[in-house]
Structure 1
Amino acid sequence: MLLCDKLEAKRNQKNKLQLQINSAAINNLIKANDGISFNNAWSFIVNQFDSLYTVKENVTVLKDAILNLAIKGKLISENLKNKVVNNTEIDIISSIKFKINEKEYPFLLPKGWKWLALNDLGLTQTGTTPATKNSEYYGDYIPFIGPGDIKKQVINYTNLSLSELGLEKARLISRDSIMMVCIGGSIGKLAINDRDVACNQQINTITPYSNIDLKYLFAVLQSSYFQNQVLSNSSGSATPIINKQKWISIPIPVPPYEVQKVISNKVDELFKLCDMLEKNIDQSSKKQSQLLNAVLAQV
């Protein structure tokens, strides 16, 4: 048992060191302001990849880094950036009501990108709940989503549904919208609905316009940049809540549509790698457990 305690202490020490090194490496990658610094930071991660990504916490940090690099235009080649600047313009005009002050830009964007309020990128809505005392409003016509139905970016459509009459008292959220919890301990939790739904007032939604790539916008909204904006614009300490006006006013970095598609595809590709890493970690832990059981069976 003394040996086990020592092994556990060594493992914890190693994991802590891995987390610290990975955090520093990712920080250098995100803060790199030129090609040389970026390449050096990325080379370090690549060279230490096998040793760094043996704990899930580091994979989580890597995923967030991928998102933050994506929304800063650091996942695409210089050739594509130049091509876009020369040949493409963003055909979205920022609304006067939600126009973003240049002095308030959260960070610098590549040429050809714009800062636009979330409200300018799609139809934004907050859900509403039909009177629960009226049983005629509830049935099996359309799923009715609450915050508890959104877990790990997946929606449970089977918990509660509205009738056709109930939908008249609610708001229709078209498929391929982004749904985000706007209150409580799960604030910022989000998912994309793959069918038409309705939702309660604890969820804000956006249905992107045709010139906004759904997966790109989803990458922005799940990034730590946007999540921090949600928290900083929330009121209430015990139960944080962000109202719709503040939510739709959050600045979004928007590249031309062609670049949005490239970035969302690159994020998908890199997230598949992260999923493989997490799977390998699970398999490694399972093998270690099997080995321990085999050893104990011989005692």
Structure 2
Amino acid sequence: MKKTVLITGCSSGFGKTSALYFARQGWNVIATMRNTECDAGADLAAMDGVLVTRLDVQDAASIDQAVAAGIARFDRIDALVNNAGFGLFGVFEAMSGDKIREQFDVNVFGVMDVTRALLPHFRHHKAGTIINISSGAGVFTLPMISLYSASKFALEGFSESLSYELAPLGITVKVVEPGGVISTSFGQRSGAEAGHASTLPDYDAFITATSAVFAGLRGQRLATEEDVAKVIYQAATDGTDQLRYVATDDIKPLVKARRESTEADYMQLMRSQFMMR
């Protein structure tokens, strides 16, 4: 019997690539997105075993409708990939309250709402896998992404605590942590979001220096969206209770520093790279 996965944010990036990857491995896929009329929607709808349906994580009714449509089509959902998200880029003081709330509405509360919508189905079957797409920014922080990091740190804490609650019910929670990926459109959206921030000249020198560091980091990105999709698929199929998966090599040194160094050594490393003297 074919298994079924529901994936959010399938219009581009990890969501679209994961939907294609799962389908090619023989899974049924409920590929959800805010706008099903986009090119990705048409591409996915043309594949066997793929249902394209609308789901906006900020619209509770659309979440319930997407879950119901998936169950009606495939009878059962075995895995959920909470992928939909975006990142605000810029200094915290320059961000509007509306954008701050949107960051958490999408990256945290949206994940919670989609998860809650599927939990009765998973509990009924005493099985299910929830995979939350976090980020290296959910393990360590970088300047200019304080709000994105805050949302991903919240997601990491939520996921870990939830895993304890759901394990006795046969439901597994997993977290996938990607870093920079050369092919994703995530960076373009983050840049567009930065355009909404007001300018504060006092930060100009810091922003210039930090942007140069980020340019160097971008040059180290060697992973692709498919590399991350393979790790997401591994998390869904390896049959273990492993909680976290680091999905790209570029962030492994910083993850190692955060998780295995002393606090003093870690902070000295990060400040040497990002703090102006």
TM-score normalised to structure 1 length: 0.24
Q: By percentage of residues, which structure has more helix?
A: 2
Larger Rg: 1
